[in-house]
A and B are shown apart, each in its own frame.
Chain A
Amino acid sequence: MSEPIIEVTDLHKRFGSAVALDGMTFTVAPGRVTGFVGPNGAGKSTTIRVILGLDAPDEGTALVCGQPYQHLQRPLNQVGALVDAAALQPSRTGRNHLLWMARSQDMPTSRVDEVIELVGLGSAARRKAGGYSLGMRQRLGIAAALLGDPPVIIMDEPFNGMDPEGIIWMRRLLHSMAVEGRAILVSSHLMSELQDMADHVLVIGRGKVLADASVDELIAHASGDQVLVRTSAASEAAGALQRAGNAARVIDGNTISVSGLEAQHIVEVLSQAQIPFSEVTAQRASLEDVYLQLTSGEAEFRASSDRKAQS
């Protein structure tokens, strides 16, 4: 894996008595989509604002391409960010919104027209942005992020307000940009939005990272390598698998659960022992299951510590 391009180290930040970031630490590598997921209020947006130099952390550092964001020369050429699609003046046209951004980085006007075409905003570009639908504003925000053709793309809740067609378009776009070797960080409060798109996931809760793993690792971990076997001879099958050195458990009359052995090997063991079976299924948790497991633990922790604080 190549060198991390975003490095967030031990960020702490409080807003009054509320702790927003509590030791947030992670890196984002190029060439893949990294999902940044957690419940609302977990610290995703605050972290992104700190990375972009909008908010200052109380402690810790956030580096992009090895530097704090404020030190980047012409930052839009290095980082494209979609923080808030409503963050524009409604009385300016979409094209002029991109135009001032291009001027701020000394980019030619032709680049503005290129990104307008790229996000499919062509016909609306010369209309006032205040009249755009939320989906069109998202596209304008994405055009702004792509303006400098940057190696790093950061998007905070980019799917909000998008229609299903827009979501599919967005997933393809982010995926293709990752394939081109860019580092993509996409936040969402819904794991389902990231499934099938993110290669790597950072699960966030209460201002820190709860899990930092590839999607496959996360799912394998949560599934615990369980395989279900349907057979009319459950106890014989369990016996045969146990003799082969595996944990096998009879769930009901014709189902057993096996862990620590791949489905293919289970089939071999059962065939050799000449035990009939009708189905061998690897149990896979969905990303959503993993997320709920991780964040529900966090919610319990929160509830119990609240009780402690009250007693």
Chain B
Amino acid sequence: MTEALRAEWTKLRTLASTGWLLLGAIVLTVGVSAAVAAAVHVTSRTGQDPTKLALTGIYLGQTIPAVLAVLTISEEYGTGMIRTTLTAMPRRFVLLAAKAVNVAGLTFVAGCLAVAGCLLVGRLLLPGAGLDPAHGYALVSISHSSTLRAAVGSVVYLVLVALLSLGVATVVRDTAVSIGVVLAVLYLPPILAQAVSDPLRRHLEQIAPMTAGLAIQATTDLRSLPIAPWAGLGVLAAWAAASLLVGGMLLRLRDA
């Protein structure tokens, strides 16, 4: 297993795209959060969640770790390198596990930096938008336990989205189709949820990976959430585990 981990790490490390994608994920996530924080203007004294606003960038930024995870295996099918990989590492569950650990690790590091950037941007920009103690809102700070949970949870969220994407790509094999499937799994349920009414909408938001997973970002008005924060992250974890399991089984059963 150690050897497989080092081999997969060497593969990721020696592609220029890995670094660019991770940098892109950080810039995009923080950039979107900054744009939203700069654009928002609040007059009411309630109803806003500064932490959640500060972390808005995750909505878009998550696509990049997803693409990185997809490429980790779909590029190998696309180029035929999977055959070289499997002759070097014929134990296929071990191979997928090694890919998962590396993708998760890199996403974790990039996620920590992105989330820290988002919180900093929130702290600096949101008071200017009327979200300050004078208007009844606390400054964004991880010394608040709910903000710390939202921050840690957002990093875990990104890691789980990457793992979900890796599993999808292991099943699908083709890069473009895999990215399409991942985007559909993430963004389609929230769009569909807007088209239907309760209780169907609530159920959809409880089981969909993105809406359930992002419940972890809420710090105010938790009762209105479709699902509790940690339970929501658990739903996303179940999606990621299922996708890796199906991917692992198919990787084992199918011809390379």
* Residues of A participating in the B interface, judged by any CB pair closer than 8 Å: 49, 52-56, 69-70, 72, 74-76, 79, 81, 83-84, 86-93, 96, 99-101, 103-106, 144
Interchain Cβ contacts under 8 Å between A and B, 7 examples: A54-B256, A76-B87, A79-B87, A81-B87, A86-B80, A89-B81, A92-B15
The verdict on A103 contacting B83 (CB below 8 Å), with A55-B256, A75-B90, A89-B76 known, is no
> Nearest Cβ distance between residue A61 and chain B, in whole angstroms?
15
In Å, the complex CA distance between A279 and B4 comes to 66
* Residues of B participating in the A interface, judged by any CB pair closer than 8 Å: 3-4, 6-11, 14-17, 75-76, 79-84, 86-91, 253, 255-256
CB pair A96 B10 closer than 8 Å = yes
CB pair B84 A144 closer than 8 Å = yes
> Nearest Cβ distance between residue A265 and chain B, in whole angstroms?
53
CB pair A101 B86 closer than 8 Å = no
- Chain A residues near B7 (CB, 8 Å)? 100-101, 103-104
CB pair B88 A105 closer than 8 Å = yes
- Chain B residues near A75 (CB, 8 Å)? 87-88, 90
Q: Which 6 A-B pairs have the closest CB atoms?
A: A104-B7, A96-B14, A87-B80, A100-B10, A55-B255, A54-B256
The verdict on A87 contacting B79 (CB below 8 Å), with A53-B86, A70-B91, A105-B88 known, is yes
CB pair B84 A88 closer than 8 Å = yes
> Nearest Cβ distance between residue A102 and chain B, in whole angstroms?
8
In Å, the complex CA distance between A103 and B88 comes to 10
In Å, the complex CA distance between A49 and B88 comes to 13
- The one of A56, A90, A105 in contact with B79, judged by C-beta atoms closer than 8 angstroms, is A90
> Nearest Cβ distance between residue B151 and chain A, in whole angstroms?
34
In Å, the complex CA distance between A90 and B78 comes to 11
> Nearest Cβ distance between residue A165 and chain B, in whole angstroms?
26
- Chain A residues near B83 (CB, 8 Å)? 49, 52, 54, 83-84, 87
CB pair B3 A103 closer than 8 Å = yes
In Å, the complex CA distance between A52 and B85 comes to 11
> Nearest Cβ distance between residue A59 and chain B, in whole angstroms?
15
Name the residue of chain B whose CB is nearest to the CB of A80.
B87
Name the residue of chain B whose CB is nearest to the CB of A95.
B14
CB pair A84 B80 closer than 8 Å = yes
- Chain B residues near A87 (CB, 8 Å)? 79-84
In Å, the complex CA distance between A74 and B91 comes to 10
- Chain A residues near B80 (CB, 8 Å)? 84, 86-88
CB pair A49 B255 closer than 8 Å = yes
CB pair B14 A70 closer than 8 Å = no
CB pair A89 B90 closer than 8 Å = no
- Residue among B4, B7, B82 with the most chain A CB within 10 A? B7
- The one of B6, B79, B86 in contact with A54, judged by C-beta atoms closer than 8 angstroms, is B86
CB pair B17 A103 closer than 8 Å = no
CB pair B90 A70 closer than 8 Å = yes
CB pair A99 B14 closer than 8 Å = yes
- Chain A residues near B86 (CB, 8 Å)? 52-54
CB pair A104 B3 closer than 8 Å = yes
New A-B contacts (4) at CB < 8 Å, excluding given A53-B86, A56-B255, A91-B17: A69-B90, A75-B88, A96-B14, A105-B88
CB pair B88 A72 closer than 8 Å = no
CB pair A104 B15 closer than 8 Å = no
- The one of B11, B81, B82, B90 in contact with A72, judged by C-beta atoms closer than 8 angstroms, is B90
- Chain A residues near B90 (CB, 8 Å)? 53, 69-70, 72, 75
- Chain B residues near A69 (CB, 8 Å)? 87, 90
> Nearest Cβ distance between residue B17 and chain A, in whole angstroms?
7
The verdict on A93 contacting B14 (CB below 8 Å), with A87-B79, A105-B3 known, is yes
> Nearest Cβ distance between residue A95 and chain B, in whole angstroms?
9
In Å, the complex CA distance between A21 and B12 comes to 37
- Chain B residues near A74 (CB, 8 Å)? 3
> Nearest Cβ distance between residue B1 and chain A, in whole angstroms?
11
CB pair A104 B89 closer than 8 Å = yes
CB pair A106 B3 closer than 8 Å = yes
